[in-house]
Amino acid sequence: KQEVTQIPAALSVPEGENLVLNCSFTDSAIYNLQWFRQDPGKGLTSLLLIQSSQREQTSGRLNASLDKSSGRSTLYIAASQPGDSATYLCAVSNSGYALNFGKGTSLLVTP
């Protein structure tokens, strides 16, 4: 069974810092990996999706990388802002259908 781990569980940084969120998975035969953002009491917003054949994806200040062989992905957030405060979820799909989620990293960016 695919196990997805996110480290750290919580992170607090001052505004303006660059930061990295980590995601690891046990089965490297993945179809794709998706990063989501979840605000308190809200649904999931898709940030980036990386196909298994890709090494990275970028969207604005966000960059996600994928290393299938080592079972790792990172989400890099540049020049963090208080509005980036949220929980970030990593989800891996082995089939292209079901997602296996990590428990998330709770990020707080302080002014």
Closest CA to 20 of 92, 91, 67, 73: 73
CB atoms under 10 Å from CB of 54, counted, come to 14
Closest to another protein by CB, 85 vs 93, is 93
Give residues in contact with another protein (CB under 8 A).
4, 31-32, 34, 36, 42-46, 49, 51, 89, 91, 93, 96-99, 101-104
Amino acid at 80: S
Closest to another protein by CB, 9 vs 20, is 9
Closest to another protein by CB, 43 vs 111, is 43
| Distance of closest approach, residue 70 Cβ to another protein, in angstroms | 22
Rounded to 5 degrees, φ, ψ at 20 are -130, 130
